[in-house]
């Protein structure tokens, strides 16, 4: 029993080491004014685990770097949708 508890504790402590920085590109087709990127960037910045968000109005895209132990691409898309700008993940995460 003690060995099981020790193994469980070690696994829990090592879990953060398994996370990896990821980059995802989100398509934001309804972003139709020059001020929209500000709102999108603020929404993405509020998501725990986001380290960088760059929003391109011309391409109607956002490139986001995040910690996959704290959030996911789906959560990022949900954040932009909740801010009024539905998004979809382009090509998966890197």
Q: With 70 as the cut, is the pLDDT of residue 3 above it?
A: no
C-beta of residue 44 within 8 angstroms of C-beta of residue 79: yes
C-beta of residue 34 within 8 angstroms of C-beta of residue 88: no
Per-residue pLDDT band at 20 (split at 50, 70, 90) = confident
Would you say residue 12 lies in a domain?
A: no
Per-residue pLDDT band at 91 (split at 50, 70, 90) = confident
Would you say residue 46 lies in a domain?
A: yes
Q: Per this entry, what is the length of the chain?
A: 94
Q: What is the pLDDT of residues 26-60, one digit of tens each?
A: 999 999 999 999 999 999 999 999 999 999 999 99
- Per the structure, the complete domain to which residue 75 belongs is given by 19-93
Give the model's pLDDT for residue 16.
Answer: 53
Q: Give the CATH number, domain containing residue 37.
A: 3.30.70.100
Q: Which of 90, 35, 34 is nearest to 62 (CA)?
A: 90
Would you say residue 72 lies in a domain?
A: yes
| Total count of domains within the chain | 1
Would you say residue 75 lies in a domain?
A: yes
Question: What's the pTM value of the predicted model, to 2 decimals?
Answer: 0.77
Q: Which of 73, 87, 76, 72 is nearest to 30 (CA)?
A: 87
- Coil, strand or helix at 49: coil
């Amino acid at each position: 029993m003690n060995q099981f508890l020790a193994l469980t504790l070690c696994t829990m402590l090592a879990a953060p080491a398994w996370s990896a920085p990821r980059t995802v590109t989100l398509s934001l087709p309804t972003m139709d004014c020059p001020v929209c990127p500000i709102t999108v960037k603020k929404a993405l910045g509020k998501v725990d685990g986001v380290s960088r968000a760059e929003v391109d109005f011309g391409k109607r895209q956002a490139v986001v770097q995040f910690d996959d132990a704290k959030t996911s691409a789906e959560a990022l898309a949900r954040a932009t949708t909740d801010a009024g700008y539905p998004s979809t993940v382009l090509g998966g995460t890197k």
